[in-house]
Protein backbone atom coordinates (compact mmCIF):
# COMPACT_ATOMS: atom_id res chain seq x y z
CA UNK A 1 0.00 0.00 0.00
CA UNK A 2 1.58 3.33 -1.02
CA UNK A 3 0.67 6.65 0.56
CA UNK A 4 -3.05 7.11 1.11
CA UNK A 5 -4.89 9.05 -1.59
CA UNK A 6 -6.65 11.14 1.04
CA UNK A 7 -3.35 12.69 2.09
CA UNK A 8 -2.56 13.68 -1.47
CA UNK A 9 -5.90 15.48 -1.46
CA UNK A 10 -5.20 17.06 1.93
CA UNK A 11 -1.61 18.02 1.14
CA UNK A 12 -2.30 21.68 0.16
CA UNK A 13 -4.23 22.18 3.40
CA UNK A 14 -1.63 20.44 5.57
CA UNK A 15 1.13 22.42 3.84
CA UNK A 16 -0.73 25.64 4.65
CA UNK A 17 -0.91 24.63 8.33
CA UNK A 18 2.79 23.78 8.33
CA UNK A 19 3.85 27.08 6.81
CA UNK A 20 1.66 29.03 9.20
CA UNK A 21 3.37 27.25 12.09
CA UNK A 22 6.75 27.97 10.54
CA UNK A 23 5.90 31.65 10.33
CA UNK A 24 4.94 31.79 14.02
CA UNK A 25 7.53 29.75 15.97
CA UNK A 26 7.33 29.45 19.75
CA UNK A 27 10.01 28.31 22.18
CA UNK A 28 9.89 25.59 24.85
CA UNK A 29 6.65 25.72 26.88
CA UNK A 30 5.58 29.07 25.37
CA UNK A 31 3.64 27.32 22.58
CA UNK A 32 0.43 29.19 23.38
CA UNK A 33 -0.56 30.10 19.81
CA UNK A 34 0.53 26.71 18.47
CA UNK A 35 -1.30 24.78 21.17
CA UNK A 36 -4.47 26.81 20.64
CA UNK A 37 -4.31 26.24 16.88
CA UNK A 38 -3.85 22.49 17.39
CA UNK A 39 -6.73 22.27 19.88
CA UNK A 40 -9.05 24.28 17.61
CA UNK A 41 -8.33 22.03 14.64
CA UNK A 42 -8.80 18.84 16.66
CA UNK A 43 -12.21 20.09 17.81
CA UNK A 44 -13.11 21.03 14.24
CA UNK A 45 -12.12 17.53 13.08
CA UNK A 46 -14.62 16.06 15.55
CA UNK A 47 -12.24 14.48 18.04
CA UNK A 48 -14.15 12.86 20.90
CA UNK A 49 -12.09 14.74 23.49
CA UNK A 50 -9.54 17.53 23.34
CA UNK A 51 -7.50 18.18 26.47
CA UNK A 52 -5.21 21.19 26.82
CA UNK A 53 -2.67 22.15 29.46
CA UNK A 54 -1.18 18.65 29.68
CA UNK A 55 2.44 19.07 30.74
CA UNK A 56 1.80 22.83 30.90
CA UNK A 57 1.03 23.56 27.22
CA UNK A 58 0.63 20.10 25.67
CA UNK A 59 -2.51 19.01 23.83
CA UNK A 60 -4.06 15.54 23.59
CA UNK A 61 -6.86 14.63 21.21
CA UNK A 62 -8.84 11.41 21.64
CA UNK A 63 -10.31 9.68 18.58
CA UNK A 64 -12.49 6.60 19.04
CA UNK A 65 -12.79 3.96 16.36
CA UNK A 66 -16.00 2.54 14.92
CA UNK A 67 -15.74 -0.17 17.56
CA UNK A 68 -13.79 -0.81 20.74
CA UNK A 69 -13.80 -4.56 21.27
CA UNK A 70 -10.01 -4.43 21.67
CA UNK A 71 -10.26 -1.94 24.53
CA UNK A 72 -6.83 -0.68 23.50
CA UNK A 73 -5.41 2.86 23.17
CA UNK A 74 -2.26 3.78 21.28
CA UNK A 75 -0.53 7.15 21.29
CA UNK A 76 0.93 9.11 18.38
CA UNK A 77 3.26 11.95 19.39
CA UNK A 78 4.49 15.10 17.61
CA UNK A 79 6.58 17.93 19.07
CA UNK A 80 5.52 21.58 18.61
CA UNK A 81 8.34 23.87 19.80
CA UNK A 82 10.90 25.84 17.83
CA UNK A 83 14.53 26.82 18.47
CA UNK A 84 16.18 30.11 19.52
CA UNK A 85 17.82 30.55 16.11
CA UNK A 86 17.72 33.53 13.73
CA UNK A 87 16.27 32.22 10.45
CA UNK A 88 18.25 32.69 7.24
CA UNK A 89 16.10 30.98 4.60
CA UNK A 90 14.58 33.98 2.81
CA UNK A 91 11.32 32.05 2.49
CA UNK A 92 8.06 33.96 2.03
CA UNK A 93 6.78 32.23 5.17
CA UNK A 94 9.97 32.74 7.19
CA UNK A 95 9.74 33.35 10.92
CA UNK A 96 8.11 36.59 12.00
CA UNK A 97 9.52 36.16 15.50
CA UNK A 98 13.07 37.52 15.74
CA UNK A 99 15.46 34.97 17.20
CA UNK A 100 13.05 32.04 16.95
CA UNK A 101 12.82 29.52 14.13
CA UNK A 102 11.41 26.09 13.32
CA UNK A 103 14.90 24.80 12.55
CA UNK A 104 14.19 21.18 13.47
CA UNK A 105 10.97 20.51 11.58
CA UNK A 106 8.58 20.37 14.51
CA UNK A 107 6.23 22.48 12.39
CA UNK A 108 6.18 19.59 9.93
CA UNK A 109 5.70 16.97 12.65
CA UNK A 110 2.74 18.90 14.10
CA UNK A 111 1.16 19.45 10.68
CA UNK A 112 1.53 15.79 9.69
CA UNK A 113 -0.03 14.54 12.92
CA UNK A 114 -2.88 17.02 12.46
CA UNK A 115 -3.36 15.60 8.96
CA UNK A 116 -3.44 12.07 10.35
CA UNK A 117 -5.90 13.17 13.06
CA UNK A 118 -8.22 14.66 10.46
CA UNK A 119 -8.17 11.45 8.41
CA UNK A 120 -8.69 9.21 11.44
CA UNK A 121 -11.57 11.38 12.65
CA UNK A 122 -13.19 11.08 9.21
CA UNK A 123 -12.75 7.36 8.70
CA UNK A 124 -12.54 5.81 12.20
CA UNK A 125 -11.67 2.54 10.47
CA UNK A 126 -10.13 0.97 13.55
CA UNK A 127 -11.12 -0.91 16.69
CA UNK A 128 -9.99 0.95 19.78
CA UNK A 129 -8.86 4.47 20.66
CA UNK A 130 -6.11 6.78 19.46
CA UNK A 131 -4.49 9.55 21.49
CA UNK A 132 -2.82 12.18 19.29
CA UNK A 133 -0.21 13.85 21.48
CA UNK A 134 1.17 17.32 20.74
CA UNK A 135 4.13 18.03 22.99
CA UNK A 136 5.86 21.31 23.89
CA UNK A 137 9.47 21.82 24.93
CA UNK A 138 11.28 18.98 23.21
CA UNK A 139 14.28 21.25 22.57
CA UNK A 140 15.78 21.05 26.02
CA UNK A 141 12.74 21.63 28.21
CA UNK A 142 11.69 18.04 28.83
CA UNK A 143 8.10 18.51 27.73
CA UNK A 144 7.74 14.76 27.23
CA UNK A 145 8.56 14.16 30.88
CA UNK A 146 6.10 16.88 31.92
CA UNK A 147 3.28 15.21 29.98
CA UNK A 148 4.09 11.77 31.39
CA UNK A 149 4.37 13.17 34.92
CA UNK A 150 0.99 14.84 34.38
CA UNK A 151 -0.55 11.35 34.19
CA UNK A 152 -1.19 11.28 30.46
CA UNK A 153 -0.51 7.56 30.03
CA UNK A 154 -2.77 6.53 32.92
CA UNK A 155 -5.53 9.04 32.19
CA UNK A 156 -6.16 7.68 28.68
CA UNK A 157 -4.81 4.16 29.31
CA UNK A 158 -2.23 4.47 26.54
CA UNK A 159 -0.53 1.10 25.94
CA UNK A 160 1.97 1.96 23.17
CA UNK A 161 3.35 5.19 21.75
CA UNK A 162 4.84 6.06 18.35
CA UNK A 163 6.85 9.08 17.25
CA UNK A 164 8.49 10.42 14.11
CA UNK A 165 11.25 12.88 13.16
CA UNK A 166 12.22 14.20 9.76
CA UNK A 167 15.80 13.45 8.73
CA UNK A 168 17.86 15.41 6.16
CA UNK A 169 19.99 13.11 4.04
CA UNK A 170 17.37 10.35 3.87
CA UNK A 171 15.44 10.40 0.56
CA UNK A 172 12.21 12.35 0.83
CA UNK A 173 9.36 10.21 2.12
CA UNK A 174 11.55 7.16 2.83
CA UNK A 175 11.99 5.78 6.34
CA UNK A 176 14.73 4.53 8.65
CA UNK A 177 14.54 2.97 12.12
CA UNK A 178 16.51 0.80 14.54
CA UNK A 179 15.61 -1.32 17.53
CA UNK A 180 17.13 -0.83 20.98
CA UNK A 181 19.12 2.27 21.96
CA UNK A 182 18.64 4.86 19.22
CA UNK A 183 19.15 8.43 20.50
CA UNK A 184 21.67 9.19 23.23
CA UNK A 185 21.28 10.30 26.81
CA UNK A 186 22.09 14.02 26.90
CA UNK A 187 23.67 15.34 30.09
CA UNK A 188 25.04 18.82 30.84
CA UNK A 189 27.84 20.04 33.05
CA UNK A 190 29.31 23.24 34.42
CA UNK A 191 32.85 23.36 35.79
CA UNK A 192 33.85 26.34 37.92
CA UNK A 193 37.64 26.68 38.15
CA UNK A 194 39.15 28.91 40.85
CA UNK A 195 42.77 29.98 41.20
CA UNK A 196 44.61 33.18 42.01
CA UNK A 197 44.36 36.08 39.62
CA UNK A 198 47.01 38.65 38.95
CA UNK A 199 49.06 40.56 36.41
CA UNK A 200 49.89 38.70 33.21
CA UNK A 201 53.49 39.88 33.50
CA UNK A 202 53.88 38.08 36.86
CA UNK A 203 52.43 34.58 36.32
CA UNK A 204 54.62 33.19 39.10
CA UNK A 205 52.45 35.08 41.58
CA UNK A 206 49.23 33.54 40.29
CA UNK A 207 47.46 30.23 39.92
CA UNK A 208 46.55 30.59 36.28
CA UNK A 209 42.97 29.38 35.83
CA UNK A 210 43.22 29.65 32.05
CA UNK A 211 46.01 27.06 32.04
CA UNK A 212 44.19 24.93 34.63
CA UNK A 213 40.95 24.97 32.65
CA UNK A 214 42.81 24.20 29.42
CA UNK A 215 44.33 21.13 31.05
CA UNK A 216 40.86 20.04 32.16
CA UNK A 217 39.44 20.45 28.64
CA UNK A 218 42.16 18.25 27.15
CA UNK A 219 42.07 15.68 29.94
CA UNK A 220 38.32 15.20 29.62
CA UNK A 221 38.91 13.67 26.18
CA UNK A 222 40.55 10.69 27.87
CA UNK A 223 37.11 9.63 29.10
CA UNK A 224 36.32 8.48 25.57
CA UNK A 225 39.82 7.44 24.54
CA UNK A 226 41.06 5.73 27.72
CA UNK A 227 38.16 5.07 30.12
CA UNK A 228 35.34 3.82 27.89
CA UNK A 229 35.20 0.44 26.18
CA UNK A 230 36.17 1.27 22.56
CA UNK A 231 32.96 -0.34 21.26
CA UNK A 232 30.79 1.83 23.55
CA UNK A 233 29.75 5.30 22.41
CA UNK A 234 30.51 8.37 24.52
CA UNK A 235 30.99 12.00 23.53
CA UNK A 236 32.33 14.61 25.95
CA UNK A 237 32.25 18.12 24.52
CA UNK A 238 33.28 21.35 26.22
CA UNK A 239 31.24 23.98 24.42
CA UNK A 240 31.97 27.17 26.37
CA UNK A 241 35.15 28.55 27.97
CA UNK A 242 34.62 31.85 29.74
CA UNK A 243 37.13 33.63 31.96
CA UNK A 244 36.43 36.32 34.54
CA UNK A 245 38.61 38.78 32.62
CA UNK A 246 38.31 40.37 29.20
CA UNK A 247 41.63 42.22 29.52
CA UNK A 248 44.87 41.45 27.66
CA UNK A 249 47.05 41.79 30.75
CA UNK A 250 45.06 40.05 33.50
CA UNK A 251 45.24 36.41 34.58
CA UNK A 252 41.67 35.69 35.66
CA UNK A 253 40.67 34.49 39.10
CA UNK A 254 37.98 32.15 37.72
CA UNK A 255 37.01 30.23 34.59
CA UNK A 256 33.60 28.75 33.78
CA UNK A 257 33.40 25.74 31.46
CA UNK A 258 30.17 24.36 30.03
CA UNK A 259 29.54 21.21 28.05
CA UNK A 260 27.60 18.07 27.32
CA UNK A 261 28.06 14.31 27.69
CA UNK A 262 26.29 11.92 25.30
CA UNK A 263 26.03 8.18 25.99
CA UNK A 264 23.99 5.17 24.89
CA UNK A 265 24.65 2.89 27.87
CA UNK A 266 23.71 3.59 31.52
CA UNK A 267 26.98 2.11 32.80
CA UNK A 268 29.00 4.35 30.48
CA UNK A 269 26.88 7.31 31.57
CA UNK A 270 27.69 6.60 35.23
CA UNK A 271 31.38 6.19 34.45
CA UNK A 272 31.52 9.42 32.42
CA UNK A 273 29.90 11.43 35.20
CA UNK A 274 32.29 10.03 37.83
CA UNK A 275 35.42 10.49 35.71
CA UNK A 276 34.46 14.01 34.65
CA UNK A 277 34.31 15.08 38.29
CA UNK A 278 37.53 13.26 39.19
CA UNK A 279 39.46 14.68 36.25
CA UNK A 280 38.28 18.26 36.76
CA UNK A 281 38.93 18.27 40.50
CA UNK A 282 42.22 16.38 40.19
CA UNK A 283 43.66 18.49 37.38
CA UNK A 284 42.81 21.68 39.22
CA UNK A 285 44.30 20.45 42.51
CA UNK A 286 47.47 19.30 40.75
CA UNK A 287 48.10 22.88 39.65
CA UNK A 288 47.17 24.49 42.94
CA UNK A 289 43.64 25.51 42.02
CA UNK A 290 40.18 24.12 42.66
CA UNK A 291 37.28 22.97 40.52
CA UNK A 292 33.61 22.57 41.37
CA UNK A 293 31.50 20.42 39.04
CA UNK A 294 27.75 20.70 38.57
CA UNK A 295 26.63 17.65 36.55
CA UNK A 296 22.99 17.30 35.51
CA UNK A 297 21.36 14.26 33.95
CA UNK A 298 19.19 15.28 31.01
CA UNK A 299 17.18 13.23 28.55
CA UNK A 300 17.69 9.48 29.04
CA UNK A 301 18.69 7.10 26.26
CA UNK A 302 15.79 6.74 23.84
CA UNK A 303 15.19 3.01 23.36
CA UNK A 304 12.93 1.52 20.70
CA UNK A 305 11.07 -1.59 21.86
CA UNK A 306 11.77 -4.63 19.67
CA UNK A 307 8.18 -5.63 18.83
CA UNK A 308 7.00 -2.07 18.21
CA UNK A 309 10.05 -1.33 16.06
CA UNK A 310 9.46 -4.37 13.88
CA UNK A 311 5.83 -3.35 13.46
CA UNK A 312 6.73 0.29 12.69
CA UNK A 313 9.25 -0.85 10.06
CA UNK A 314 6.65 -3.13 8.44
CA UNK A 315 4.26 -0.18 8.20
CA UNK A 316 7.03 1.99 6.71
CA UNK A 317 7.75 -0.66 4.09
CA UNK A 318 4.06 -0.79 3.22
CA UNK A 319 3.96 2.99 2.79
CA UNK A 320 7.33 3.66 1.12
CA UNK A 321 8.47 0.32 -0.28
CA UNK A 322 11.37 -0.15 2.14
CA UNK A 323 12.72 0.91 5.52
CA UNK A 324 16.44 1.37 6.11
CA UNK A 325 18.46 0.58 9.21
CA UNK A 326 19.00 3.92 10.93
CA UNK A 327 22.36 4.85 12.43
CA UNK A 328 22.88 5.46 16.13
CA UNK A 329 22.27 9.12 16.92
CA UNK A 330 24.26 10.92 19.63
CA UNK A 331 21.69 13.70 19.78
CA UNK A 332 19.06 13.61 22.53
CA UNK A 333 15.32 13.11 22.10
CA UNK A 334 12.80 13.46 24.90
CA UNK A 335 10.42 10.98 23.31
CA UNK A 336 12.59 8.80 25.57
CA UNK A 337 10.38 9.74 28.53
CA UNK A 338 7.31 8.40 26.71
CA UNK A 339 9.01 5.25 25.44
CA UNK A 340 10.32 4.62 28.96
CA UNK A 341 6.75 4.86 30.26
CA UNK A 342 5.24 2.61 27.58
CA UNK A 343 6.57 0.34 24.80
CA UNK A 344 7.12 2.39 21.69
CA UNK A 345 8.99 3.10 18.49
CA UNK A 346 10.44 6.23 16.95
CA UNK A 347 11.09 6.44 13.21
CA UNK A 348 12.90 8.81 10.84
CA UNK A 349 11.17 10.10 7.69
CA UNK A 350 13.35 11.46 4.91
CA UNK A 351 13.63 15.22 4.38
CA UNK A 352 15.78 14.84 1.28
CA UNK A 353 18.90 16.80 0.38
CA UNK A 354 18.33 19.79 2.64
CA UNK A 355 20.23 21.81 5.21
CA UNK A 356 20.65 19.91 8.43
CA UNK A 357 18.41 20.39 11.45
CA UNK A 358 19.36 23.21 13.85
CA UNK A 359 20.78 25.21 10.93
CA UNK A 360 19.49 28.74 10.09
CA UNK A 361 18.87 27.66 6.47
CA UNK A 362 16.96 24.49 7.34
CA UNK A 363 13.37 24.05 6.14
CA UNK A 364 11.02 21.09 6.53
CA UNK A 365 10.33 19.46 3.16
CA UNK A 366 6.57 19.54 2.51
CA UNK A 367 6.97 16.71 -0.02
CA UNK A 368 7.38 14.37 2.98
CA UNK A 369 3.87 15.14 4.27
CA UNK A 370 1.90 12.35 2.49
CA UNK A 371 4.33 9.64 3.61
CA UNK A 372 4.45 10.85 7.21
CA UNK A 373 0.67 11.15 7.49
CA UNK A 374 0.18 7.75 5.86
CA UNK A 375 2.61 6.09 8.28
CA UNK A 376 0.76 7.42 11.31
CA UNK A 377 -2.64 6.44 9.91
CA UNK A 378 -1.43 2.97 8.98
CA UNK A 379 0.06 2.49 12.45
CA UNK A 380 -3.47 2.90 13.82
CA UNK A 381 -5.38 0.89 11.22
CA UNK A 382 -2.95 -2.04 11.37
CA UNK A 383 -2.39 -2.03 15.13
CA UNK A 384 -6.10 -1.68 15.85
CA UNK A 385 -7.72 -3.50 12.90
CA UNK A 386 -11.43 -2.85 12.49
CA UNK A 387 -13.60 -5.53 14.07
3 pLDDT more than 90: no
Mean pLDDT computed over 107-118: 98
pLDDT on residue 340: 96
β-strands 160-168, 344-352: how paired?
parallel
pTM of structure: 0.94
* 292, 337, 368, 39: CA torsion to nearest 10: -110
The answer on whether 359 is annotated among ligand-binding residues is no
1 pLDDT more than 70: no
- Max alpha carbon distance in the chain (Å)? 84
Q: Could you tell me which residue, 34 or 5, shows the higher pLDDT? A: 34
The answer on whether 106 is annotated among ligand-binding residues is yes
pLDDT on residue 387: 83
The answer on whether 139 is annotated among ligand-binding residues is yes
The answer on whether 104 is annotated among ligand-binding residues is yes
> In the chain, what percentage of residues exceed pLDDT 70?
99
Q: Which domains does the chain have, with CATH numbers?
A: 5-182+301-383 (3.40.630.10), 185-299 (3.30.70.360)
The answer on whether 253 is annotated among ligand-binding residues is no
Band (2; pLDDT cuts 50, 70, 90): low
Mean pLDDT computed over 314-337: 96
Band (307; pLDDT cuts 50, 70, 90): very high
Amino acid sequence: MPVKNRFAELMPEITEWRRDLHEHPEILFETHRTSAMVADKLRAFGCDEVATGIGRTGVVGIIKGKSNTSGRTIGLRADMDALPILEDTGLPYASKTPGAMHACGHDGHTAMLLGAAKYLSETRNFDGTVAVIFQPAEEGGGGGKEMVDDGMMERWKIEEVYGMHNWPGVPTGKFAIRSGPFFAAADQFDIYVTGKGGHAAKPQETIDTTVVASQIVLALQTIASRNADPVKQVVVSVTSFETASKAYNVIPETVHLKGTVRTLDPAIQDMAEQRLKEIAEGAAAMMGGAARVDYRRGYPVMVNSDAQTEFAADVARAVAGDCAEAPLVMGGEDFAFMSNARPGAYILVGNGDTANVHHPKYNFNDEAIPAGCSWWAEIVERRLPAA
